[in-house]
Amino acid sequence: MNIIVCIKQVPNVTKVSWDADGSLIRSGLPTIINPVDKNAIEAALQLKEKHGGKVTVISMGPDQVQEALLEALCMGADDAIQLTDKAFAGADTWATSYTLGVTIEKIGKYDLVITGVEAMDGNTAQVGPQIAEHLGIPLLSYATDIEVSGSTVKIKQKLGDVSRLLEASLPVLITVEKEINEYRVMPIDKILEAFEKDIPVWGADSIPADVVNLGLKGSPTRLRKVFSPKLEKGRVEMLEGTPEDISRQLADKLSAKFLI
Amino acid sequence: MAVKADLTKHKGVWVFAEQRDGRLSTTSLEMVGKGRDLADKLGVTLTCILLGKSVKEPAAELIAYGADRVIVAEHPELAEYRTELYTKIICDQAQIEKPEILIIGATPVGRDLTPRLSFRLNTGCTADCTELDIDPEARLLVSTRPAFGGNVMATIICPEHRPQMSTVRPGVFHVPARDASRKGDISAIEVNIKPEDVNVRVLESSVSEGHCADIQDAEKIIGVGIGASDDVSFAAIREIAGLIGAEIGGTRPCVEKALIDHGVQIGQTGKNIRPELYIACGISGAVQHTTGLSNAKFIVAINKDPNAEIFKFANIGIAGDAKPVLQAFAKELKQRHQEQ
């Protein structure tokens, strides 16, 4: 079974800090593989271990995206392909999905494409479903379990408060939730193998893409402005005293406002 | 993108209305309210598109809540939501009627469906917006969404492709007033589903057992954070919630600890809330959480770090360990209840 996993390298937004003016400090943020994309890699590796085949990981981004792909190889992926080109820069989800979709077509034979549900920096959850549309294959989203038998795949889907069991014929694209598995610690032998491997870099010329669909030029959406969310600084009244004193004051104040 | 839209040919605002077993989701009604506002600003009609097995009754409700027109697609195969079936019907109709705007609630179904729609329609989609408005000069939809993990807000437009699409986070907009006397047009479209259109089979479907409070509509909410996630504090929180009639929600780490359900997670990847009273317990106030609080009217914050961000949002602050404060507050409230 041939599985393609799409991953994204993201700034570690949980490490964000603010300067004295309340602006976001962006520089020097460490980058990581989007955490749920590691669950996607893990899901692919587990399926390969069960059914045989090959796991190929692809990622679009600047030069440093190679670090993320190397990490994927260290986890046990067979191949990695890096998509880096100035022409890809500034892509919104439409152009990103197009680029990844065309790349998958170029790779050719695949049974499954797996992505994480969403990236922790953009949180759009759009790229997986859009790749499925580009490829014209069914989307099985929000997977918390995957089971393949023969040419049939079943997933458990967490659709908000509804749990479903879905079935489709391969090939399909699956987006996984983090509950699906605990991703592995990189095994030593795979780390050693990974450093022997070459990560090819594909640019716009390497894939059968129509250049007008790439990068900023290919993106239907435009960023008009970015701003820091306003902190609604109310004048906070701090209560002091023992827990009992504080509780009395709090209960009095809330009753006076008819809130309790 | 190769194909840009002929902008003059696109007119009208569309809302995808989501229903389950004939019941409209609250988010759909919120979308109708916002769609009405956008349509009025543009001077165009508001159309809802509603798919399901038997949905004439909810279609009439959509008119009562503000739609001018409802396109109804009924078929037994549409009872269970499936991405490709829904995509085909909505896209085919959108290609015929050419709306200028299509908005959808960012529910699990909406977030699954919308990207596929936008890709097939060759247009952009702004996900999980918290604000939608019209730029009257350019007649453009202006969508605002949190980005970068909620650390910044981004304003996004889609100037050359139609329809302009956005999904909106549940709980951001109000459900409009219902007016049963409103008149509108309900038109059913013919639905042809061939066997080859059905690529995904739903073998089982069940609503989760775990009680999941509808936190978006709650008037009082107690939020639990890691600083109040120990057994004693949580027991006190439950007691307080029972005494004052509050729902319990919380931060993502508490969901990850399985203390609370994901359905009651507040903030960036959870719900937006708008209670009269919010009591934040052991919550430091990371932006990922506080973006969900912008519509909370009165906020009480208890946190051991006097410099915690949460105090910038609070009306009343208590700098101290959550556990003893919560225990004492539960006791105080119980006493007052008994005295009444």
| Segment B101-120, tens digit of pLDDT | 999 999 999 999 999 999 99
pLDDT (0 to 100) of residue B212: 53
Residues in chain A, pLDDT under 50: none
pLDDT (0 to 100) of residue A22: 52
Q: Tell me yes or no: is domain A2-213 CATH 3.40.50.620.
A: yes
pLDDT (0 to 100) of residue B174: 87
Spatial CA neighbour of A44 closest among A78, A74, A70? A78
Model pTM?
0.83
**What are the beta bridge partners of residue A147?**
A154
Contact B200 A168 (CB under 8 A): yes
Helices B108-120 and A93-107: crossing angle in degrees, nearest 10, is 70
Contact A220 B298 (CB under 8 A): no
Could you tell me if B91 lies within 8 Å of chain A, comparing CB atoms? Answer: no
For residue A49, give every residue at least 6 positions away whose Cβ sits within 8 Å of its Cβ, in sequence order, or none.
none
Domain ranges of chain A: 2-213
**What are the beta bridge partners of residue B153?**
A227, B146
- Mutation pick from A156, A158, A246, A255 vs chain B, by most beta carbons of B within 10 Å, is A246
Could you tell me if B22 lies within 8 Å of chain A, comparing CB atoms? Answer: no
> pLDDT over 90 for what percent of chain B?
77
Q: Which residue has the tokens 């893990």?
A: A42
pLDDT in tens, B15-71: 999 999 999 999 999 999 999 999 999 999 999 999 999 999 999 999 999 999 999
Q: Do residues B10 and B99 touch, judged by C-beta distance below 8 A?
A: yes
pLDDT (0 to 100) of residue A16: 63
Residue A224, Cβ density class (10 Å: 0-12 exposed, 13-18 middle, ≥19 buried): middle
Spatial CA neighbour of A178 closest among A149, A153, A152, A158? A158
pLDDT at B210 over 70: no
pLDDT in tens, A98-145: 999 999 999 999 999 999 999 988 889 999 999 999 999 999 999 999
Residue, of B225 and A15, whose pLDDT is higher:
B225
pLDDT in tens, B80-89: 999 999 999 9
The angle at the Cα of B177, spanning B171 to B183, to the nearest 5 degrees, equals 125
Q: Do residues B81 and B197 touch, judged by C-beta distance below 8 A?
A: no
Phi, psi dihedral angles at B269 (to 5 degrees): -105, 15
In the 3-class helix/strand/coil scheme, how is A162-185 assigned residue by residue? EEEEEEEECCEEEEECHHHCCCCC
**Residue B340 confidence class, pLDDT cut points 50, 70, 90:** confident
pLDDT (0 to 100) of residue A229: 66
B 126-165 residues with CB below 8 A of A?
126-128, 142, 146-161
pLDDT (0 to 100) of residue A24: 58
Spatial CA neighbour of B18 closest among B47, B51, B66? B51
pLDDT (0 to 100) of residue A66: 96
Could you tell me if B19 lies within 8 Å of chain A, comparing CB atoms? Answer: no
**Residue B300 confidence class, pLDDT cut points 50, 70, 90:** very high
pLDDT (0 to 100) of residue B101: 98
Which of A125, A138, A158 lies closest to B111 in CB terms?
A125
pLDDT (0 to 100) of residue A26: 61
Domain ranges of chain B: 7-197, 215-339
Helices B231-244 and B322-339: crossing angle in degrees, nearest 10, is 30
Is the ipTM higher than 0.85? The answer is yes
Contact B315 A163 (CB under 8 A): no
Kindly report the number of other CB atoms within 10 A of residue B253's CB atom: 17
Spatial CA neighbour of A197 closest among A73, A76, A82? A73
Q: Do residues A43 and A76 touch, judged by C-beta distance below 8 A?
A: no
pLDDT (0 to 100) of residue A18: 59
Q: How many CB pairs under 8 A join A and B?
A: 255
pLDDT (0 to 100) of residue A77: 98
Q: Do residues A139 and A155 touch, judged by C-beta distance below 8 A?
A: no
pLDDT (0 to 100) of residue B152: 77
Q: What one-letter code names the amino acid at A188?
A: I
From the candidate CATH numbers 3.30.70.980, 3.40.50.620, 1.10.20.10, 3.40.190.80, the one assigned to the domain spanning B7-197: 3.40.50.620
Q: Which of A35-44, A112-121, B126-135, B252-261 is least confident?
A: B252-261
State in words which class domain B215-339 has. alpha beta
- Mutation pick from B25, B28, B118 vs chain A, by most beta carbons of A within 10 Å, is B118
Alpha helices (H) along chain A: 35-51, 65-75, 93-107, 127-135, 188-194, 243-256
B163 cis-preceded (ω within 30 degrees of 0): yes
Per the prediction, chain B carries an average pLDDT of 92
Chain A residues near residue B207 by CB distance under 8 angstroms: 161-163
Beta strands B298-303; A17-18: pairing state: unpaired
Chain A residues near residue B314 by CB distance under 8 angstroms: 234, 236
Q: Which residue has the tokens 């969901």?
A: B255
pLDDT (0 to 100) of residue B292: 85
Contact B199 A138 (CB under 8 A): yes
pLDDT at B317 over 70: yes
Q: How far is CA B229 from CA A205, B93, B223, B307, B328, in A?
A: 53, 49, 10, 20, 17
Average pLDDT over residues B140-150: 84
Q: Do residues B252 and B265 touch, judged by C-beta distance below 8 A?
A: yes
